[in-house]
Amino acid sequence: MATSGYFFMATDTGLRGDMQEAEKNDPGSWLDMKVVLLRVQAGSSRDVDWKAPMARVGVDIGELRNTRHPHLYRLYVHADRGSNQLQLLLFDRKPAGPAGLIVQNQHIVTACARLINWAS
C-alpha cells in the first residue's frame, strides 16, 4: 500500500493489468488519470474530476474521471466511511453517449466484484 498526502491508496490486484492494457491502447492514459488522483488526494480537485457515490442502490463505489477524446476514462474507487484508505478497484475507458452507459455498468459490476473479493 502506498501512502502519501490526505489518504492511503491501496490497489486491487487487477488494477495493474487495467493500467497496462490502457497504456498499450492509449499511451499516457494512466498518467493523465494519476494527475486527477493526485489532485483529489491533495484536496484541489474540480467537480468534474470525480463522482461518489455512483447512482446505484447499495453500492458504495465512486469514480475519478478523465477525458482523452474520444474516450472517457474512469478509475473506480471505494473508501469505507471514516477510513483514510482509498481502494483503487478498476481503471478503464468507455465511449461517450448511450453505448458508454452500457460499458460503464459492466465496469461498475466488475469493480463491485473486486471490492467483494478484497474483503474476503
Averaged confidence pLDDT in the chain: 88
Give the pLDDT confidence of 6-37 residue by residue, as tens digits.
788 899 999 999 999 999 999 999 999 999 99
Q: How far is CA 78 from CA 40, 63, 99, 104, in A?
A: 14, 9, 25, 16
Please list the helix, strand and coil fractions of the chain in percent, rounded to the nearest 5, in that order: 40, 30, 30
**CATH class held by domain 2-119:** alpha beta
Which pLDDT value is given to residue 2?
A: 42
Domain ranges of the chain: 2-119
Per-residue cell: 88: 483503487
Alpha helices in 1-120 (DSSP H): 15-25, 29-42, 98-119
pTM exceeding 0.85: yes
pLDDT band at 45 (very low <50, low <70, confident <90, very high): confident
Q: How far is CA 56 from CA 62, 66, 94, 99, 105, in A?
A: 10, 21, 18, 18, 10
